[in-house]
């Protein structure tokens, strides 16, 4: 079973879904946040998952911050990293050692609506559907190779909150399933 670290900045609902839907391919052994007030930390405590919070403000630059994150991840012998509402662009210090093993979930059908506030972008564009994308991280913003996607219908009466709720439901199913699939495939290939 592979060891998984989840990086989050906010509420941690995807983190909790990843923990609760682990099917034996991976075990979540660490939650890391970049904010010590992230609600995800409370979820981790309730689930019995070890946590570490490291504020980027404590470091002189991004590379130093990411080196501290990398040190913690290596101390836990992490195999894979899942970003779950982690509101930072991953730089080369963290990306290079874990290239091809850092995964993110994004609330749109990429390449549409990358970056911040994809749900508002979809509503503003008045599209009939948006969705969820699980993708590998690269040096860009939501530009890494797509692993899986699922469409979400946008209803005429959808508000930001109702659409966000529909997207989260899909994320909570698609993300853990995708992680299980790619980690199992990786084991078969023997990366």
Tell whether residue 22 is among the known ligand binding residues. Answer: no
* Tens-digit pLDDT string for the chain (191 aa): 999 999 999 999 999 999 999 988 999 999 999 999 999 999 999 999 999 999 999 999 999 999 999 999 999 999 999 999 999 999 999 999 999 999 999 999 999 999 999 999 999 999 999 999 999 999 999 999 999 999 999 999 999 999 999 999 999 999 999 999 999 998 887 64
User: What's the CATH number where 180 sits?
Assistant: 3.40.50.170
Which residue in the block uniquely carries the two structure tokens 């981790």? 44
Domain with 82 in it: 2-189
Tell whether residue 12 is among the known ligand binding residues. Answer: yes
- Selecting among 76, 106, 135, 172, the annotated active-site residue is 106
Tell whether residue 32 is among the known ligand binding residues. Answer: no
102-106 vs 129-136, strand pairing mode: antiparallel
Q: How many domains does the chain have?
A: 1
Tell whether residue 168 is among the known ligand binding residues. Answer: no
* pLDDT score of 190: 64
106 is catalytic: yes
Residue 61: strand pairing partners: none
């Amino acid at each position: 079973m592979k060891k998984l670290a989840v990086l989050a900045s906010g509420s941690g609902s995807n983190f909790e879904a990843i923990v609760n839907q682990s099917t034996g391919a991976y075990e979540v052994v660490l939650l890391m946040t970049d904010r010590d007030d992230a609600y995800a930390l409370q979820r981790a405590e309730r689930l019995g998952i070890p946590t570490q919070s490291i504020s980027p403000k404590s470091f002189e630059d991004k590379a130093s911050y990411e080196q501290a994150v990398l040190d913690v991840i290596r101390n836990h012998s992490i195999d894979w990293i899942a970003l779950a509402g982690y509101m930072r662009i991953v730089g080369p210090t963290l990306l290079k050692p874990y290239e091809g093993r850092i995964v993110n979930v994004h609330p749109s059908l990429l390449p549409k609506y990358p970056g911040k506030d994809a749900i508002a972008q979809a509503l503003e564009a008045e599209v009939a559907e948006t969705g969820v994308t699980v993708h590998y991280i690269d040096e860009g913003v939501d530009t890494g190779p797509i692993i899986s996607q699922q469409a979400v219908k946008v209803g005429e009466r959808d508000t930001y909150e109702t659409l966000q709720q529909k997207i989260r439901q899909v994320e909570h199913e698609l993300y853990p399933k995708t992680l299980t699939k790619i980690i199992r495939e990786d084991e078969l290939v023997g990366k």
